[in-house]
Amino acid sequence: MAARIKRPSIRRLLLAQLAVMGLMVGLAAWSDGGAGAFSALTGGAVAFLPNAFFAWRVFRYQGARHAKNIVNGFYRAEAGKFGLTAVLFTLVFIAVPPSNPAFFFGAYVVTLFAHWLGPWLLRRPSHT
């Protein structure tokens, strides 16, 4: 029986993005009230949801035998992430335009930049 390959846990990275998003919503609520908090929430959601989709789709295949499937899966996940981002931006600006674009884009960018924590959060412990 072949050894089972452990998939990388991205839970901490997604939780870090949610925490950053919550921090931005709290900052916006303190600074601008409910309207600013809602703008920050929608901006953070537009950044978080496509990243969660990408993480869900990209790690479907593991191992050297599936190298072609891994590469194809990565490109499909990235295309889906891009398409979902475009759809969410369109939906937000048509259905619920943000009352404070500064908080919307600020939360979007800060939530997106939480990926810089990825190497630190995804680090596997040493077994030596």
What is the pTM for the complete model shown? Answer: 0.78
Indicate whether 47 belongs to any domain. Answer: yes
Contact 94, 29 (CB under 8 A): no
Domain count, the chain: 1
Indicate whether 72 belongs to any domain. Answer: yes
Indicate whether 73 belongs to any domain. Answer: yes
Whether pLDDT at 1 is above 60: no
Indicate whether 6 belongs to any domain. Answer: no
Its domain, for residue 47, covers 11-120
The CA distance from 32 to 34, in Å, is 7
> 3-class SS at 40?
helix
Indicate whether 4 belongs to any domain. Answer: no
Indicate whether 25 belongs to any domain. Answer: yes
Helices (H), ranges, the chain: 11-32, 34-58, 67-95, 101-113, 118-121
The per-residue pLDDT for range 12-57, each reduced to its tens digit, is 788 888 999 999 999 999 998 889 999 999 999 999 999 888 888 8
